[in-house]
Amino acid sequence: MSYWQELEHKYYMSTVERLPITLVRGQGARVWDEDGREYLDFVGGWAVNSLGHCHPVVVEAVVEQVHTLIQASNQFYTVPQVRLAELLVQNSCLDKVFFCNSGAEANEGAVKLARRYGQLNLSGAHEIITTMGSFHGRTLNMVAATGQPKFQQPYIPLPGGFINVEYNSIEAIKAATTSLTCAVMLEPVQGEGGVNLPDNNYLTAVREWCDRKGILLILDEIQTGVGRTGILFAYQQLGIEPDVMTLAKGLASGIPIGAILAKDRASVFNPGEHGSTFGGNPLACAAGYATLKFILDNDVAGNASRIGRYLIDGLKGFKQKFQFITDVRGYGLLVALEFSSDISQSLVMDCLDRGLLVNQLKPNALRFMPPLIIGNEEVDEALSILDKALSIIVS
Protein backbone atom coordinates (compact mmCIF):
# COMPACT_ATOMS: atom_id res chain seq x y z
CA MET A 1 0.00 0.00 0.00
CA SER A 2 1.35 3.41 -0.96
CA TYR A 3 1.95 6.33 1.40
CA TRP A 4 -1.26 8.07 0.29
CA GLN A 5 -3.30 4.91 0.62
CA GLU A 6 -2.04 4.38 4.18
CA LEU A 7 -2.95 7.95 5.08
CA GLU A 8 -6.38 7.47 3.55
CA HIS A 9 -7.03 4.48 5.79
CA LYS A 10 -5.98 6.54 8.77
CA TYR A 11 -7.95 9.71 8.05
CA TYR A 12 -10.82 9.03 5.66
CA MET A 13 -14.20 7.45 6.39
CA SER A 14 -14.41 4.07 4.81
CA THR A 15 -17.60 4.38 2.74
CA VAL A 16 -16.35 2.52 -0.33
CA GLU A 17 -14.07 -0.38 -1.23
CA ARG A 18 -11.33 1.40 -3.17
CA LEU A 19 -9.39 -0.07 -6.04
CA PRO A 20 -5.66 -0.15 -5.24
CA ILE A 21 -4.48 2.79 -7.34
CA THR A 22 -4.16 6.50 -6.57
CA LEU A 23 -5.08 8.69 -9.53
CA VAL A 24 -3.09 11.86 -9.87
CA ARG A 25 -3.74 13.13 -13.41
CA GLY A 26 -6.17 12.82 -16.29
CA GLN A 27 -6.30 13.89 -19.93
CA GLY A 28 -9.03 12.98 -22.38
CA ALA A 29 -10.00 9.35 -21.87
CA ARG A 30 -6.78 8.54 -19.94
CA VAL A 31 -5.75 8.79 -16.31
CA TRP A 32 -2.41 8.20 -14.59
CA ASP A 33 -1.66 6.83 -11.15
CA GLU A 34 1.02 7.95 -8.70
CA ASP A 35 3.54 5.53 -10.23
CA GLY A 36 2.99 7.01 -13.68
CA ARG A 37 0.98 4.05 -14.97
CA GLU A 38 -1.55 4.96 -17.65
CA TYR A 39 -5.16 3.71 -17.78
CA LEU A 40 -7.92 3.99 -20.35
CA ASP A 41 -10.84 5.29 -18.34
CA PHE A 42 -14.20 3.64 -19.07
CA VAL A 43 -15.61 4.73 -15.71
CA GLY A 44 -15.30 8.44 -16.43
CA GLY A 45 -15.71 9.61 -12.85
CA TRP A 46 -19.12 7.79 -12.71
CA ALA A 47 -20.40 9.01 -16.06
CA VAL A 48 -19.31 12.52 -15.13
CA ASN A 49 -16.38 13.37 -17.38
CA SER A 50 -18.53 13.80 -20.46
CA LEU A 51 -15.77 15.63 -22.35
CA GLY A 52 -13.07 13.49 -20.79
CA HIS A 53 -10.54 14.66 -18.24
CA CYS A 54 -9.42 18.28 -18.27
CA HIS A 55 -10.94 19.12 -21.65
CA PRO A 56 -9.44 22.41 -22.89
CA VAL A 57 -12.80 24.19 -23.24
CA VAL A 58 -13.72 23.31 -19.66
CA VAL A 59 -10.27 24.18 -18.31
CA GLU A 60 -10.31 27.50 -20.16
CA ALA A 61 -13.80 28.41 -18.94
CA VAL A 62 -12.95 27.51 -15.35
CA VAL A 63 -9.63 29.36 -15.38
CA GLU A 64 -11.22 32.47 -16.82
CA GLN A 65 -14.09 32.37 -14.35
CA VAL A 66 -11.75 31.73 -11.40
CA HIS A 67 -10.02 34.98 -12.25
CA THR A 68 -13.32 36.83 -12.68
CA LEU A 69 -15.94 35.81 -10.09
CA ILE A 70 -16.11 32.49 -8.24
CA GLN A 71 -19.08 32.85 -5.90
CA ALA A 72 -21.79 35.38 -5.29
CA SER A 73 -24.80 35.35 -2.99
CA ASN A 74 -27.93 34.22 -4.78
CA GLN A 75 -29.46 37.61 -4.00
CA PHE A 76 -27.58 38.93 -7.01
CA TYR A 77 -27.92 38.27 -10.72
CA THR A 78 -24.88 36.54 -12.22
CA VAL A 79 -24.11 35.95 -15.88
CA PRO A 80 -22.90 32.31 -16.22
CA GLN A 81 -26.01 31.07 -14.36
CA VAL A 82 -28.34 32.81 -16.79
CA ARG A 83 -26.36 31.71 -19.85
CA LEU A 84 -26.42 28.04 -18.80
CA ALA A 85 -30.12 28.20 -17.87
CA GLU A 86 -30.94 29.72 -21.28
CA LEU A 87 -28.94 27.06 -23.12
CA LEU A 88 -30.69 24.26 -21.19
CA VAL A 89 -34.16 25.67 -21.85
CA GLN A 90 -33.43 26.31 -25.52
CA ASN A 91 -32.37 22.70 -25.97
CA SER A 92 -34.97 20.87 -23.88
CA CYS A 93 -38.75 20.75 -23.45
CA LEU A 94 -38.49 22.48 -20.06
CA ASP A 95 -38.98 26.18 -19.32
CA LYS A 96 -37.30 27.02 -16.03
CA VAL A 97 -34.08 25.97 -14.29
CA PHE A 98 -32.69 25.91 -10.75
CA PHE A 99 -29.05 25.00 -10.08
CA CYS A 100 -27.63 23.14 -7.11
CA ASN A 101 -24.50 21.10 -6.42
CA SER A 102 -25.21 17.41 -6.88
CA GLY A 103 -27.65 14.86 -8.16
CA ALA A 104 -29.19 14.04 -4.79
CA GLU A 105 -29.70 17.74 -4.13
CA ALA A 106 -31.37 18.17 -7.52
CA ASN A 107 -33.74 15.29 -6.76
CA GLU A 108 -34.47 16.68 -3.29
CA GLY A 109 -35.41 19.95 -4.95
CA ALA A 110 -37.57 18.16 -7.53
CA VAL A 111 -39.40 16.37 -4.71
CA LYS A 112 -39.96 19.67 -2.89
CA LEU A 113 -41.27 21.13 -6.14
CA ALA A 114 -43.67 18.21 -6.58
CA ARG A 115 -44.90 18.54 -2.99
CA ARG A 116 -45.45 22.24 -3.47
CA TYR A 117 -47.34 21.42 -6.66
CA GLY A 118 -49.43 18.95 -4.68
CA GLN A 119 -50.20 21.58 -2.03
CA LEU A 120 -51.27 24.09 -4.63
CA ASN A 121 -53.06 21.84 -7.15
CA LEU A 122 -53.79 18.42 -5.67
CA SER A 123 -55.33 19.10 -2.25
CA GLY A 124 -52.06 18.46 -0.43
CA ALA A 125 -51.05 15.26 -2.24
CA HIS A 126 -47.43 14.62 -1.36
CA GLU A 127 -46.47 11.01 -2.09
CA ILE A 128 -44.02 10.13 -4.84
CA ILE A 129 -43.98 6.80 -6.62
CA THR A 130 -40.53 5.48 -7.56
CA THR A 131 -39.31 2.10 -8.82
CA MET A 132 -37.40 -0.87 -7.46
CA GLY A 133 -33.83 -0.97 -8.73
CA SER A 134 -33.73 2.80 -9.11
CA PHE A 135 -31.01 5.08 -7.80
CA HIS A 136 -31.76 8.66 -6.83
CA GLY A 137 -28.94 9.61 -4.43
CA ARG A 138 -27.67 9.28 -0.88
CA THR A 139 -29.59 11.80 1.21
CA LEU A 140 -32.16 10.24 3.54
CA ASN A 141 -35.09 11.18 1.30
CA MET A 142 -33.33 9.91 -1.79
CA VAL A 143 -32.44 6.67 -0.03
CA ALA A 144 -36.18 6.31 0.65
CA ALA A 145 -36.85 7.08 -3.02
CA THR A 146 -34.20 4.61 -4.17
CA GLY A 147 -35.89 1.23 -4.45
CA GLN A 148 -32.92 -0.88 -3.34
CA PRO A 149 -32.85 -2.50 0.14
CA LYS A 150 -29.04 -2.37 0.39
CA PHE A 151 -29.12 1.45 0.41
CA GLN A 152 -32.14 1.63 2.72
CA GLN A 153 -31.56 -0.94 5.44
CA PRO A 154 -28.69 0.79 7.30
CA TYR A 155 -30.85 3.91 7.80
CA ILE A 156 -34.23 2.61 8.88
CA PRO A 157 -36.53 4.31 9.78
CA LEU A 158 -36.62 6.20 6.49
CA PRO A 159 -38.58 9.38 5.86
CA GLY A 160 -42.07 8.73 4.50
CA GLY A 161 -43.73 9.85 1.32
CA PHE A 162 -42.06 7.46 -1.14
CA ILE A 163 -43.61 4.32 -2.56
CA ASN A 164 -41.24 1.93 -4.35
CA VAL A 165 -42.99 -0.21 -6.98
CA GLU A 166 -41.88 -2.78 -9.53
CA TYR A 167 -39.97 -1.31 -12.51
CA ASN A 168 -41.36 -1.64 -16.03
CA SER A 169 -44.87 -2.23 -14.70
CA ILE A 170 -47.47 0.42 -15.46
CA GLU A 171 -49.93 -1.69 -13.48
CA ALA A 172 -47.77 -1.33 -10.36
CA ILE A 173 -47.78 2.46 -10.75
CA LYS A 174 -51.52 2.50 -11.28
CA ALA A 175 -52.09 0.33 -8.21
CA ALA A 176 -49.92 2.58 -6.04
CA THR A 177 -51.55 5.83 -7.17
CA THR A 178 -53.97 7.35 -4.64
CA SER A 179 -55.36 10.78 -3.88
CA LEU A 180 -52.12 11.35 -1.94
CA THR A 181 -49.89 10.90 -5.02
CA CYS A 182 -48.31 14.07 -6.44
CA ALA A 183 -45.69 12.59 -8.77
CA VAL A 184 -43.97 9.60 -10.32
CA MET A 185 -40.17 9.79 -10.39
CA LEU A 186 -38.18 7.56 -12.76
CA GLU A 187 -34.82 7.21 -14.46
CA PRO A 188 -35.41 6.78 -18.22
CA VAL A 189 -32.79 4.02 -18.03
CA GLN A 190 -31.95 2.71 -14.54
CA GLY A 191 -28.20 3.37 -14.32
CA GLU A 192 -26.75 2.30 -10.98
CA GLY A 193 -29.45 -0.35 -10.58
CA GLY A 194 -28.23 -2.33 -13.59
CA VAL A 195 -28.47 -0.32 -16.86
CA ASN A 196 -32.08 -1.56 -16.98
CA LEU A 197 -33.80 -0.42 -20.15
CA PRO A 198 -37.46 0.58 -20.20
CA ASP A 199 -39.81 -1.82 -21.99
CA ASN A 200 -41.45 -0.52 -25.14
CA ASN A 201 -44.35 1.78 -24.24
CA TYR A 202 -43.60 1.75 -20.49
CA LEU A 203 -42.71 5.42 -20.34
CA THR A 204 -45.49 6.48 -22.71
CA ALA A 205 -47.94 4.57 -20.52
CA VAL A 206 -46.55 6.30 -17.41
CA ARG A 207 -46.82 9.65 -19.15
CA GLU A 208 -50.47 8.98 -20.09
CA TRP A 209 -51.26 7.85 -16.55
CA CYS A 210 -49.70 10.97 -15.01
CA ASP A 211 -51.70 13.15 -17.42
CA ARG A 212 -54.88 11.32 -16.59
CA LYS A 213 -54.33 11.74 -12.85
CA GLY A 214 -52.98 15.28 -13.09
CA ILE A 215 -49.77 14.27 -11.31
CA LEU A 216 -46.22 15.19 -12.27
CA LEU A 217 -43.71 13.01 -14.10
CA ILE A 218 -40.20 13.66 -12.82
CA LEU A 219 -37.41 12.17 -14.93
CA ASP A 220 -34.11 11.69 -13.12
CA GLU A 221 -31.68 12.19 -16.02
CA ILE A 222 -28.72 12.68 -13.71
CA GLN A 223 -26.90 9.77 -15.34
CA THR A 224 -28.68 9.58 -18.72
CA GLY A 225 -28.74 13.30 -19.51
CA VAL A 226 -26.37 15.56 -21.44
CA GLY A 227 -25.56 13.18 -24.29
CA ARG A 228 -24.83 9.99 -22.37
CA THR A 229 -27.48 7.88 -24.11
CA GLY A 230 -26.61 9.09 -27.61
CA ILE A 231 -29.04 12.00 -27.62
CA LEU A 232 -29.00 15.16 -25.50
CA PHE A 233 -31.66 13.87 -23.07
CA ALA A 234 -32.87 10.29 -22.95
CA TYR A 235 -36.55 11.32 -22.93
CA GLN A 236 -36.09 12.57 -26.51
CA GLN A 237 -35.75 9.02 -27.80
CA LEU A 238 -38.55 7.61 -25.64
CA GLY A 239 -41.44 9.57 -27.07
CA ILE A 240 -42.36 11.48 -23.91
CA GLU A 241 -41.73 14.80 -22.18
CA PRO A 242 -41.25 15.09 -18.42
CA ASP A 243 -42.81 17.85 -16.30
CA VAL A 244 -39.66 18.00 -14.22
CA MET A 245 -36.16 16.75 -15.04
CA THR A 246 -33.04 16.56 -12.91
CA LEU A 247 -29.46 16.69 -14.17
CA ALA A 248 -26.03 16.55 -12.54
CA LYS A 249 -23.19 14.14 -13.36
CA GLY A 250 -22.08 15.02 -16.90
CA LEU A 251 -23.42 18.57 -17.04
CA ALA A 252 -20.16 20.34 -16.17
CA SER A 253 -17.74 17.58 -17.15
CA GLY A 254 -16.46 17.13 -13.59
CA ILE A 255 -17.14 20.40 -11.79
CA PRO A 256 -19.88 19.74 -9.19
CA ILE A 257 -23.30 20.89 -10.36
CA GLY A 258 -26.92 19.78 -10.27
CA ALA A 259 -30.00 21.17 -11.96
CA ILE A 260 -33.77 20.98 -11.67
CA LEU A 261 -35.65 21.80 -14.87
CA ALA A 262 -39.42 22.20 -14.98
CA LYS A 263 -42.21 23.12 -17.33
CA ASP A 264 -43.79 26.46 -16.55
CA ARG A 265 -46.89 24.91 -15.01
CA ALA A 266 -44.75 22.80 -12.63
CA SER A 267 -42.39 25.63 -11.79
CA VAL A 268 -44.20 26.57 -8.58
CA PHE A 269 -41.48 27.75 -6.17
CA ASN A 270 -42.01 31.23 -4.78
CA PRO A 271 -39.16 33.41 -3.51
CA GLY A 272 -37.81 32.01 -0.26
CA GLU A 273 -39.17 28.49 -0.74
CA HIS A 274 -35.97 26.89 -2.01
CA GLY A 275 -32.30 27.80 -2.16
CA SER A 276 -28.66 26.76 -2.13
CA THR A 277 -25.59 28.71 -1.06
CA PHE A 278 -23.28 27.38 -3.76
CA GLY A 279 -25.99 26.34 -6.21
CA GLY A 280 -25.68 28.09 -9.56
CA ASN A 281 -22.46 29.80 -8.67
CA PRO A 282 -20.51 31.40 -11.52
CA LEU A 283 -17.69 28.84 -11.47
CA ALA A 284 -19.85 25.72 -11.80
CA CYS A 285 -22.15 27.39 -14.32
CA ALA A 286 -19.25 28.55 -16.49
CA ALA A 287 -18.00 24.95 -16.58
CA GLY A 288 -21.52 23.74 -17.34
CA TYR A 289 -21.98 26.27 -20.12
CA ALA A 290 -18.63 25.38 -21.73
CA THR A 291 -19.47 21.66 -21.53
CA LEU A 292 -23.01 21.91 -22.88
CA LYS A 293 -22.03 24.37 -25.64
CA PHE A 294 -19.26 22.05 -26.80
CA ILE A 295 -21.60 19.05 -26.72
CA LEU A 296 -24.18 20.92 -28.82
CA ASP A 297 -21.75 22.51 -31.28
CA ASN A 298 -19.87 19.28 -31.95
CA ASP A 299 -22.74 16.78 -31.86
CA VAL A 300 -21.05 14.93 -29.02
CA ALA A 301 -24.33 13.11 -28.36
CA GLY A 302 -24.24 11.81 -31.95
CA ASN A 303 -20.70 10.61 -31.32
CA ALA A 304 -21.86 8.84 -28.15
CA SER A 305 -24.59 7.17 -30.20
CA ARG A 306 -22.20 5.98 -32.94
CA ILE A 307 -19.40 4.91 -30.61
CA GLY A 308 -21.90 3.33 -28.24
CA ARG A 309 -23.22 1.18 -31.08
CA TYR A 310 -19.65 0.26 -32.02
CA LEU A 311 -18.94 -0.73 -28.40
CA ILE A 312 -22.15 -2.76 -28.11
CA ASP A 313 -21.45 -4.51 -31.44
CA GLY A 314 -17.94 -5.35 -30.24
CA LEU A 315 -19.23 -6.75 -26.96
CA LYS A 316 -21.92 -8.73 -28.75
CA GLY A 317 -19.15 -10.16 -30.90
CA PHE A 318 -17.70 -11.70 -27.71
CA LYS A 319 -20.83 -13.73 -27.09
CA GLN A 320 -19.78 -16.51 -29.51
CA LYS A 321 -16.40 -16.89 -27.90
CA PHE A 322 -17.42 -16.46 -24.27
CA GLN A 323 -20.57 -18.41 -23.65
CA PHE A 324 -20.82 -17.09 -20.08
CA ILE A 325 -21.80 -13.67 -21.45
CA THR A 326 -25.56 -13.55 -20.98
CA ASP A 327 -26.42 -10.00 -22.03
CA VAL A 328 -25.08 -6.84 -23.64
CA ARG A 329 -27.32 -3.81 -23.31
CA GLY A 330 -27.32 -0.04 -23.20
CA TYR A 331 -28.06 3.23 -24.91
CA GLY A 332 -25.23 5.37 -26.24
CA LEU A 333 -22.25 5.18 -23.92
CA LEU A 334 -24.11 3.73 -20.96
CA VAL A 335 -23.52 0.04 -21.51
CA ALA A 336 -23.66 -3.13 -19.41
CA LEU A 337 -22.10 -6.54 -19.99
CA GLU A 338 -23.69 -9.34 -17.97
CA PHE A 339 -22.40 -12.82 -17.12
CA SER A 340 -23.88 -16.11 -15.95
CA SER A 341 -21.71 -16.04 -12.80
CA ASP A 342 -20.16 -13.57 -10.37
CA ILE A 343 -16.93 -12.79 -12.19
CA SER A 344 -17.02 -9.01 -12.39
CA GLN A 345 -14.78 -8.33 -9.40
CA SER A 346 -11.96 -10.41 -10.85
CA LEU A 347 -12.53 -8.89 -14.30
CA VAL A 348 -12.30 -5.36 -12.88
CA MET A 349 -8.99 -6.24 -11.21
CA ASP A 350 -7.61 -7.95 -14.28
CA CYS A 351 -8.59 -5.04 -16.55
CA LEU A 352 -6.97 -2.67 -14.05
CA ASP A 353 -3.71 -4.65 -14.28
CA ARG A 354 -3.93 -4.37 -18.06
CA GLY A 355 -4.60 -0.62 -18.01
CA LEU A 356 -8.37 -0.35 -18.37
CA LEU A 357 -10.78 1.06 -15.78
CA VAL A 358 -14.25 -0.50 -15.79
CA ASN A 359 -17.04 -0.45 -13.20
CA GLN A 360 -18.45 -3.44 -11.36
CA LEU A 361 -22.15 -2.81 -11.82
CA LYS A 362 -23.23 -6.03 -10.10
CA PRO A 363 -21.35 -9.16 -8.99
CA ASN A 364 -22.19 -10.54 -12.44
CA ALA A 365 -22.15 -7.37 -14.57
CA LEU A 366 -19.79 -4.62 -15.69
CA ARG A 367 -20.77 -1.08 -16.70
CA PHE A 368 -19.00 1.12 -19.25
CA MET A 369 -19.48 4.90 -19.14
CA PRO A 370 -16.45 6.39 -20.88
CA PRO A 371 -16.12 10.03 -21.90
CA LEU A 372 -18.52 10.86 -24.74
CA ILE A 373 -15.68 12.15 -26.92
CA ILE A 374 -13.91 8.81 -27.41
CA GLY A 375 -13.39 7.29 -30.85
CA ASN A 376 -13.33 3.77 -32.30
CA GLU A 377 -9.63 3.40 -31.40
CA GLU A 378 -10.32 3.70 -27.67
CA VAL A 379 -13.13 1.17 -27.97
CA ASP A 380 -10.84 -1.20 -29.91
CA GLU A 381 -8.23 -0.86 -27.18
CA ALA A 382 -10.78 -1.52 -24.42
CA LEU A 383 -12.21 -4.51 -26.31
CA SER A 384 -8.77 -5.99 -26.79
CA ILE A 385 -8.03 -5.71 -23.05
CA LEU A 386 -11.44 -7.15 -22.18
CA ASP A 387 -10.86 -10.00 -24.63
CA LYS A 388 -7.68 -10.96 -22.74
CA ALA A 389 -9.35 -10.61 -19.34
CA LEU A 390 -12.33 -12.70 -20.45
CA SER A 391 -10.04 -15.36 -21.96
CA ILE A 392 -8.47 -15.95 -18.55
CA ILE A 393 -11.92 -16.66 -17.11
CA VAL A 394 -12.41 -19.35 -19.77
CA SER A 395 -9.14 -21.20 -19.21
Ligand X SMILES: *Cc1c(COP(=O)(O)O)cnc(C)c1O
Task: Report the catalytic residues.
Answer: 135, 220, 249
Give the interface size with ligand X as a residue count (CB under 6 A). 15
At position 210, the amino acid (one-letter code) is C
CB 148 within 8 A of CB 135: yes
Residue 104 in the binding site for ligand X (CB under 6 A): yes
Closest contact distance (angstroms) between CB of 178 and ligand X is 25
Contact set for ligand X, span 271-310 (CB under 6 A) = none
Of residues 115 and 249, the one with the C-beta less far from ligand X:
249
Of residues 125 and 234, the one with the C-beta less far from ligand X:
234
Of residues 311 and 334, the one with the C-beta less far from ligand X:
334
Residue nearest ligand X, Cβ-based: 103
Listed ranges 61-69, 119-127, 170-178, 186-194: which one lies at the site for ligand X (CB under 6 A): 186-194
At position 299, the amino acid (one-letter code) is D
Residue 192 in the binding site for ligand X (CB under 6 A): yes
The DSSP symbol for 235 reads G
Cβ neighbours around 126 below 10 Å, total: 18
Q: Which residues of 255-273 are buried (b: 16+ CB within 10 A; e: fewer)?
A: bbbbbbbbbeebbbbeeee
Closest contact distance (angstroms) between CB of 388 and ligand X is 30
Residue 358 in the binding site for ligand X (CB under 6 A): no
Q: Is the dihedral of CA 161, 164, 167, 169 positive or negative?
A: negative
Distances (CA, A) of 237 to 246, 312, 335: 17, 18, 16
Of residues 102 and 267, the one with the C-beta less far from ligand X:
102
Considering only 187, 243, 350, 378, the residue that binds ligand X (CB under 6 A) is: 187
Alpha-carbon distance of 300 to 244, in angstroms, equals 24
CB 232 within 8 A of CB 258: no
Considering only 42, 117, 135, 269, the residue that binds ligand X (CB under 6 A) is: 135
- The residues, ordered by sequence, that sit 6+ positions from 122 with a Cβ below 8 Å of its Cβ are 179, 182, 214, 215
Residue 52 in the binding site for ligand X (CB under 6 A): no
Listed ranges 129-137, 162-170, 317-325, 381-389: which one lies at the site for ligand X (CB under 6 A): 129-137
Of residues 240 and 248, the one with the C-beta less far from ligand X:
248
Phi-psi category of 236—alpha, beta or left, where left has phi over 0 and alpha has psi -120 to 50?
alpha
Which of 278, 274, 241, 240 has the alpha carbon at shortest distance from 258? Answer: 278
HEC readout, 236-301: HHCCCCCCEEEECHHHHCCCCCEEEEECHHHCCCCCCCCCCCCCCCHHHHHHHHHHHHHHHHCCHH
Closest contact distance (angstroms) between CB of 222 and ligand X is 4
Alpha-carbon distance of 322 to 345, in angstroms, equals 17
Closest contact distance (angstroms) between CB of 56 and ligand X is 25
Alpha-carbon distance of 331 to 94, in angstroms, equals 22
Of residues 131 and 267, the one with the C-beta less far from ligand X:
131
Phi-psi category of 307—alpha, beta or left, where left has phi over 0 and alpha has psi -120 to 50?
alpha
Closest contact distance (angstroms) between CB of 330 and ligand X is 14
Residue 49 in the binding site for ligand X (CB under 6 A): no
Residue 191 in the binding site for ligand X (CB under 6 A): yes
Closest contact distance (angstroms) between CB of 107 and ligand X is 6
Contact set for ligand X, span 105-124 (CB under 6 A) = 107
Contact set for ligand X, span 208-267 (CB under 6 A) = 220, 222-223, 248-249
Closest contact distance (angstroms) between CB of 252 and ligand X is 11
Residues of this chain that interact with ligand X (CB under 6 A) are 102-104, 107, 135-137, 187, 191-192, 220, 222-223, 248-249
